[in-house]
Structure 1
Amino acid sequence: MNDLGYALLGEEKNAAAIAAFELNVGAFPGSANGLDSLAEALIADNQLKRAKAILKQAMLLDPNLESAKKQLASLETPVSTKNSL
């Protein structure tokens, strides 16, 4: 299901990708990676508040998940700081 979500995300079919990732999370609620993937699709769809909450869930399940750490740090960085880099 994760592969399908990424295929859809690659085609910029964000809503369908989110649905696929949500199904994956429903089937594997303890998967930090599944939550991280869902957050990636939410970010692509500009659902940043929800993505941040999902990433925090992922970090509770796996505090060492690097992709979740990076995405969460990116969301918590003020926009003005990002633009000045």
Structure 2
Amino acid sequence: MKTLLKTITSGEDKIYVYEAGYVEGVKAAQAYLAGPDGWGASMYFPLYKVEDFAQNQTQIAKFLELAKEKLGMETEPCNT
């Protein structure tokens, strides 16, 4: 079972940060955004950077942008 380390809220979105074992020999964390259809998008980074990520609104916004794009959650702007 994954260990939840932190929940980051940005607007209506919640990013869940879990302990993620090791990636290339480095203890890792997983940032996860759940989509509406049961799918999700993840990003892995070194465990020691969890607080840096949680405090960096630019990184959070970029993760949300990319994750939502991959999950098809963003709507196209109306050009009319």
Higher fraction of helix: 1
**How does the TM-score come out when normalised to structure 2?**
0.35
Higher fraction of strand: 2
Higher Rg of the two aligned structures: 2
